Structure 1
Amino acid sequence: MKHIKVVIVLLIMTSLSSCGEDFLDPVPTSSISAENFYQNEEQLVAGIINMYDGLQGVNDTRSDSNHATQMEFYVTEMRSDNTRTKNGEGEAAQFDNFEVRPTNGLVADHYRSFYNVIFRANTVLANLSVASEENRAKFEAEAKFVRAYVYFNLVRLYGEVPLVDRVIGINDTDISYTRRSLTDVYDLIISDLEAAVEHLDNTYRNRASKAAAQALLAKVYLTLGTDHLEAQLLLEDVMASGYSLEPNFYDVFYNENNSEVIFSIGYVSGQADDSQNFSAEWLNGVGRTVGVNYVTNDAVEALNNLGGNRTDVSIRTDPVQPSQTQVTKYLPDGADGGANGRTFDFDARLAGNDWIVLRYADVLLMHVEAIMADGSETSVPAALNSFQLVRDRAGLTDPVTNITKQELLDERRVELAFENQRLFDLIRFGVAVETLSAFAAETGGSFSSTDLLLPIPQGEIGLSNGRLSQNPGY
């Protein structure tokens, strides 16, 4: 990670761009150095915004940039049975066939991007002394939420990872290159989220909030399978906090910061520094790369059978290649794609669609999961009510009297399709090996249980002089 730290130091000094709201637009007014930057609360707030800027990622074509959230679909959705490449070409096709290599540049991008964000969060935590007494606990909680969110993704994708819980120097290689146990990583995640729950409120959608910390902590408990009751209580507190389902499913994604969004990563249309390109990449001929995150036949069938009115919002037949199906849940800025899905009245590569990390429908379905706990079904009225709310919005209004584990998993698939949840859901429900093995057999891939984890990037192992071990199967 030595090469990362040099980039990060430069970024933290020079890249204080916005995340899509007025308060996310600090303007540097003087020359800044590492020694004199954090002298007052205003500068610390700039550092806080810099964390979200790191989550945004950079909308460019450089292979050494940190693209962060903008490319996370590769390592999540495209490693499930939901999406694939259109033509089976390039590094992205390794995800199609479950043949990801340690040298894969997309994996390396993801890994370094999110350790970059951890560095930014740790930098805020190291400089809390300049904050006012009134705001110090809130700023600390915000940085801990971001750190926990990133580590939760990393530990689910890579398994045991280096646990960097403070700002480290270039010679701190023991921390940088020592993989810590899952217990240690999850202990930090839980501790950070508990602090966030205690000290945050629900002011923001594009920044950390109490509800976001509660929902994420509930998902952590469900992932660990250790405390379903605590997860249920956390989710019920979110359900009593004023969030609600948008009546129209389309508006969830194109009426930003709506009543359903709990935490999203903000982007601004038309601005190179703050826009995103992923929604264009999923189309035909408009993105930095094209024809990725195309819909599998398996997912098309699931949406056609179970999606209700969500299907037309989520997918469409590719107007250029009718044998293919595109994700449309995040069409750039809500556009219809124009003639043949290829022309826009704006530059689709500079789209402003926010990326939704947590929303109320996810909370309702996790609520069912928490009540079901280790069982295979539930008819508890509270669970039925949460499940029915999601289905009613989809136009599926037949009364539900019992919910099986498979029905819950299916509902999560069509409700949260292409939101980078499917792989994690399969793993959490304990059916990933069975489901993905069958999917690979049908599509010509080669899946084994070791494919549930990504490889540690080979470049990181090289920098560690072999101290950083590789995951099994790579």
Structure 2
Amino acid sequence: MKNHIKISILFLFVLMGCEDFLDIAPTAAVSSGNYFVDDQQLETGVIAMYDAIQGVNSTSTSDNHSIQYEFYITEMRSDNTRTKSSEGEAAQFESYTIQSTNGIVLDYYRSMYNVIYRANLVLENIDVASDANRDQFEGEAKFVRAYAYFNLVRLFGDVPLLDRVIGPEDEALSFTRTSTADVYSLITSDLQDAVAKLGKVSINRASKAAAQAMLAKVYLTQGTNYVEAQQLLEAIIGTEYSLEDDFRDVFYSESNDEVIFAIGYLPDLTSDSQNFSSEWLNAVGRTSGVNYVTTEAREALDNLGGARTQYSYRQDQRQPTEYQVVKYLPDGDESLGIPATSTDPTLAGNDWIVIRYADVLLMHVEAIMAGANETSSGSAISSFQQVRSRAGITTPVATITKEDLLNERRVELAFENHRWFDLVRLGVARDVLSAFSAANNYSFSDTDLLLPIPQAEINLSKGLLTQNPGY
């Protein structure tokens, strides 16, 4: 990943030996207790957290692919994308027929707990840090832990809450589901600490602004603390971040001023590249077309996207009846002025953007709206119009409705794994996805608002870990 600090082979052996969060205690001769002795060693642990989010670029089902699989359980469960062939485990997401044995769901669940384990490992050893670096390392670890739990609680509901590295005597904690309220309590506390402790390192590591933006989204998701969310967002607005003039540059001019937090990748290196963007192409990645753009998403972009549309989706060059995501194209597109990022699309170097300034501006509108169906606030209109103006849409608005906000978020953040969460957070998932399902002969029901707890984890727990209703 970008700004990579090489981790020693010995430390990788110890740390990666706990790839599954259920592997309670490493048995190697060198343990975390005697490895971490100063800032240099602790920073390897910090970098390892981001490596866990980055995921492994491989075809092995035993590896944690982390966010490289995230589009399956977010975009492809929404009305934005689908598979080309409606076959295999991937098709379960588009048709709302997800099984508890789905390997992609298991991979993501275990990946996020591996991220949490690594964050807890840093926090357990934070006392070795110098006064100069302690706050930064602690803030990063708490941001990363909050990030992983925020994804888990929104996708699975009640989940095991592990706020420290556990030993064999605490194994039951790995399988004991904790209420969403308690999970959110830890997320909020971690992000508040991160806001207080963090400065700015690089876009590929946690910063104060990233923590502020994520905490604001946590408040919006809970439907509480709208004033605090607005204040957090206004602390970012007007600072060093700004919208790129050209929408294309957001994705193809990396480390730009719009990106607040991104997971970095390097091209042509198996250890630091990604292959999810090649999976979205036809017969280039391991699959033959996933994350294909739905008719509904194309219509939204055609009608509301403005200058964003051509950089959001394109006609499949191999199969003209289908349409592909343009953001993150690994092999480029000369007709759109998009360069290739690697010599091999399956070893792509495109960063994955988690938080960017346009999202902050649209969350600002949402915070001012404060759960109402519309707002005519001048501050909200200013933020809303900045995003639209960049897309060449200059028609002034006097009022912003919740539907306007949802539509704008859809076309601005299309295929960036926001749509599912937006529908749920703004209280329209049931209605929107029921209509989408009916129009496409899918089988959406209330059960599908949460993913199943992976059956493999339930089996490991010997029944202690319970399943979500309907699975």
TM-score normalised to structure 2 length = 0.93
Shift of 1:40: 1.6
State the match for 1:415 in structure 2. 412
Q: Residues 344 and 40 from structure 1, CA distance in 2 versus in 1: closer, same or farther, beyond 3 angstroms?
A: closer
Structure 2 spans left out of the alignment, 5+ residues: 15-29
Separation in structure 1 between the aligned mates of residue 208 and residue 53 of structure 2, nearest angstrom: 19
Q: Residues 345 and 274 from structure 1, CA distance in 2 versus in 1: closer, same or farther, beyond 3 angstroms?
A: closer
Moved more, 411-420 or 395-404: 395-404
Letter of the structure 2 residue corresponding to residue 129 of structure 1: D
Answering whether residue 427 of structure 2 is matched by residue 447 of structure 1, we say: no
Separation in structure 2 between the aligned mates of residue 435 and residue 179 of structure 1, nearest angstrom: 29
2:281 is paired with a residue whose SS is coil
State the match for 2:5 in structure 1. 25
Q: How does 1:313-324 map to 2 (within 5 A)?
A: 313-324=311-322
Separation in structure 1 between the aligned mates of residue 334 and residue 142 of structure 2, nearest angstrom: 39
Separation in structure 1 between the aligned mates of residue 114 and residue 413 of structure 2, nearest angstrom: 27
Separation in structure 2 between the aligned mates of residue 435 and residue 175 of structure 1, nearest angstrom: 37
Match of 1:398 among 395, 399, 411: 395
Deviations 1:183-236 (A, max 9, x none): 100000000000000010123200000000000000000000111111000000
Letter of the structure 2 residue corresponding to residue 305 of structure 1: N
Shift of 1:241: 2.4
Letter of the structure 1 residue corresponding to residue 394 of structure 2: T
Shift of 1:28: 2.1
Shift of 1:337: 7.9
Shift of 1:174: 2.0
Asked whether the 8 Å contact 2:316–2:324 carries over to 1, the reply is yes
The CA RMSD over aligned residues, in Å, is 1.6
State the match for 2:59 in structure 1. 61
Asked whether the 8 Å contact 2:313–2:325 carries over to 1, the reply is yes
Separation in structure 2 between the aligned mates of residue 374 and residue 90 of structure 1, nearest angstrom: 39
Match of 1:168 among 141, 156, 166: 166
Deviations 1:67-114 (A, max 9, x none): 001110001110000000011011000001101000000000000011
Match of 2:433 among 429, 432, 436: 436
Asked whether the 8 Å contact 1:173–1:464 carries over to 2, the reply is no
Structure 1 spans left out of the alignment, 5+ residues: 1-18
Letter of the structure 2 residue corresponding to residue 96 of structure 1: E
Match of 1:389 among 386, 410, 426: 386
Answering whether residue 349 of structure 2 is matched by residue 352 of structure 1, we say: yes
Separation in structure 2 between the aligned mates of residue 244 and residue 28 of structure 1, nearest angstrom: 38
Q: How does 1:197-346 map to 2 (within 5 A)?
A: 197-332=195-330, 335-336=332-333, 346=343
State the match for 2:72 in structure 1. 74
Separation in structure 1 between the aligned mates of residue 117 and residue 56 of structure 2, nearest angstrom: 16
Asked whether the 8 Å contact 1:59–1:277 carries over to 2, the reply is yes
2:354 is paired with a residue whose SS is strand
Separation in structure 1 between the aligned mates of residue 334 and residue 72 of structure 2, nearest angstrom: 22
Asked whether the 8 Å contact 2:364–2:383 carries over to 1, the reply is yes
Asked whether the 8 Å contact 1:337–1:344 carries over to 2, the reply is no
Q: Residues 451 and 332 from structure 1, CA distance in 2 versus in 1: closer, same or farther, beyond 3 angstroms?
A: same
Deviations 1:395-434 (A, max 9, x none): 1011122111100100000000000000000001100000
1:358 is paired with a residue whose SS is strand
Shift of 1:27: 4.7
Separation in structure 1 between the aligned mates of residue 47 and residue 454 of structure 2, nearest angstrom: 28
Deviations 1:38-74 (A, max 9, x none): 1221000000000000000000000010000111000
Letter of the structure 1 residue corresponding to residue 202 of structure 2: Y
State the match for 2:27 in structure 1. none
Q: Residues 330 and 29 from structure 1, CA distance in 2 versus in 1: closer, same or farther, beyond 3 angstroms?
A: closer
Asked whether the 8 Å contact 1:280–1:290 carries over to 2, the reply is no
Separation in structure 1 between the aligned mates of residue 274 and residue 150 of structure 2, nearest angstrom: 23
Q: Residues 249 and 169 from structure 1, CA distance in 2 versus in 1: closer, same or farther, beyond 3 angstroms?
A: same
Q: Residues 240 and 356 from structure 1, CA distance in 2 versus in 1: closer, same or farther, beyond 3 angstroms?
A: same
Deviations 1:236-283 (A, max 9, x none): 001132100000000000111110000000000111000000110000
State the match for 1:108 in structure 2. 106
Asked whether the 8 Å contact 1:84–1:296 carries over to 2, the reply is yes
Displacement over 4 Å in runs of 4+: 29-32
Asked whether the 8 Å contact 1:450–1:472 carries over to 2, the reply is yes
Moved more, 230-239 or 345-354: 345-354
Q: How does 1:36-185 map to 2 (within 5 A)?
A: 36-185=34-183
Fraction of identical pairs, as percent? 62
State the match for 2:361 in structure 1. 364
Shift of 1:290: 3.0
Answering whether residue 173 of structure 2 is matched by residue 191 of structure 1, we say: no
Moved more, 320-329 or 167-176: 167-176
Asked whether the 8 Å contact 2:246–2:390 carries over to 1, the reply is yes
Q: Residues 321 and 117 from structure 1, CA distance in 2 versus in 1: closer, same or farther, beyond 3 angstroms?
A: same
Separation in structure 1 between the aligned mates of residue 352 and residue 143 of structure 2, nearest angstrom: 17
1:326 is paired with a residue whose SS is strand
Letter of the structure 1 residue corresponding to residue 426 of structure 2: F
Letter of the structure 2 residue corresponding to residue 291 of structure 1: G
Aligned length: 450
Letter of the structure 2 residue corresponding to residue 141 of structure 1: G
Letter of the structure 2 residue corresponding to residue 143 of structure 1: A
